[in-house]
């Protein structure tokens, strides 16, 4: 900090309040199409950074690179484990149109030998969600989910705070008792996981945080009696509307556990009962 001249007007220092999500998904343009990020260990599950969080970072960069700002449909392939710390995102525009644009992005980190390794590759089409018509004929119904106040927080786990993944501290996550049997050693053997999602610091949802929401719940694999890590091979998210303020309901289903892989289908419903996002991921068991 420099010394202010004695006669200068010293403006009060106003520190803008930035949410944890925005701070930890921020990107800085190094040059056109190339962005720097600092990935936060605050979004780790065990040793690995959460795939949805990483997708949000990549999506922010692509939204800067493309003339349209909202991801409509975005697919990520996770190549090798991404670690906390610096990362570079290199984008490539495939096509820019009047209503939508398409591009790719790769997230790179130093490989320890002076070079860089691509950790994640993304392909996405962006548009303007606010410009969509309000003709909504969704036939899907919101999930039957236990009211928020009756759901379990990760800290309600019998092991208490010691078993809470670091990322869970960034969230206000509430898991439906109907999909919590795994936490008590009694998995349901149904491929289902349901819960409420909000950010712990109260930041309201937006299209980028939806990309984190679809991958934030415990794995359906836990209810299917699987243990250990179930790494995501690929995750595709359709963002269909800007979410209304308030907590999100997330419902995840697995129906095809086979051959050492499983799919997780997630739906995200906002407080206005709108189906704002749908995703499917392929995970390895």
23, 28, 153, 255: residue in contact with a second copy (rule CB under 8 A): 255
Binding mask 96-135 for a second copy (x = CB under 8 A): ----x-x-x-x-----------x--xxxxx---x--xxxx
Q: How far is the CB of 167 from a second copy (least distance, A)?
A: 24
Rounded Cα distance between 276 and 263, Å, is 20
Query: Residue 87 interacts with a second copy (CB under 8 A)?
Result: no
List of residues 6+ apart from 54 with CB closer than 8 A: 39, 76, 78, 82, 107, 120
Contact (CB, 8 A) for 85 and 119: no
Q: How far is the CB of 224 from a second copy (least distance, A)?
A: 8
Binding span for a second copy by CB under 8 A among 16-24, 72-80, 147-155, 203-211: 72-80
Closest CA to 120 of 65, 63, 70, 82: 82
Query: Residue 138 interacts with a second copy (CB under 8 A)?
Result: yes
95, 159, 272, 273: residue in contact with a second copy (rule CB under 8 A): 95
List of residues 6+ apart from 107 with CB closer than 8 A: 37, 54, 57, 58, 82, 87, 88, 89, 118, 119, 120, 121, 122
**Residue found by looking up tokens 């980028």 in the block:** 208
Contact (CB, 8 A) for 145 and 251: yes
The residue (of 24 and 267) whose beta carbon lies closer to a second copy is 267
4, 29, 81, 136: residue in contact with a second copy (rule CB under 8 A): 136
Query: Residue 227 interacts with a second copy (CB under 8 A)?
Result: no
140, 144, 185, 202: residue in contact with a second copy (rule CB under 8 A): 140
List of residues 6+ apart from 147 with CB closer than 8 A: none
Positions touching a second copy (CB under 8 A) are 72-73, 75, 77, 79-80, 94-95, 100, 102, 104, 106, 118, 121-125, 129, 132-140, 190-191, 224, 233-234, 236, 238, 240-241, 254-261, 263, 275, 278, 280, 282
């Amino acid at each position: 900090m420099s010394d202010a001249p004695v006669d200068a007007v010293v403006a009060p220092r106003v520190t803008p309040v930035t949410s944890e999500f925005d701070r930890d998904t921020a990107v800085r343009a190094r040059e056109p199409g190339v962005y720097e990020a600092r990935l936060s260990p605050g979004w780790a599950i065990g040793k690995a950074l959460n795939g949805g969080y990483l997708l949000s970072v990549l999506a922010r960069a692509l939204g800067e690179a493309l003339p349209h700002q909202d991801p409509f449909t975005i697919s990520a392939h996770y190549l090798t484990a991404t670690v906390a710390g610096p990362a570079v995102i290199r984008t490539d525009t495939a096509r820019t149109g009047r209503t939508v644009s398409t591009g790719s992005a790769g997230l790179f980190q130093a490989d320890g030998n002076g070079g860089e390794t691509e950790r994640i590759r993304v392909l996405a089409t962006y548009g303007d969600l606010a410009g969509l018509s309000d003709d909504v004929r969704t036939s899907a119904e919101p999930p039957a989910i236990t009211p928020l106040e009756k759901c379990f927080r990760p800290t309600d786990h019998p092991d208490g705070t010691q078993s809470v993944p670091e990322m869970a501290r960034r969230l206000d996550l509430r898991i439906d008792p109907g999909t919590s049997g795994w936490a008590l050693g009694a998995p349901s053997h149904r491929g289902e996981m349901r819960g409420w999602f909000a950010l712990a610091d109260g930041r309201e949802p937006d299209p980028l945080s939806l990309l984190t929401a679809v991958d934030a719940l415990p794995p359906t694999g836990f209810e299917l009696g699987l243990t250990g890590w179930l790494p995501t091979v690929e995750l595709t998210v359709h963002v269909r509307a800007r979410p209304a303020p308030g907590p999100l309901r997330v419902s995840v289903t697995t129906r095809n556990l086979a051959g050492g892989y499983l799919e997780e289908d997630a739906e995200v419903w906002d407080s206005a009962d709108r189906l704002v996002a749908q995703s499917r991921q392929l995970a390895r068991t």
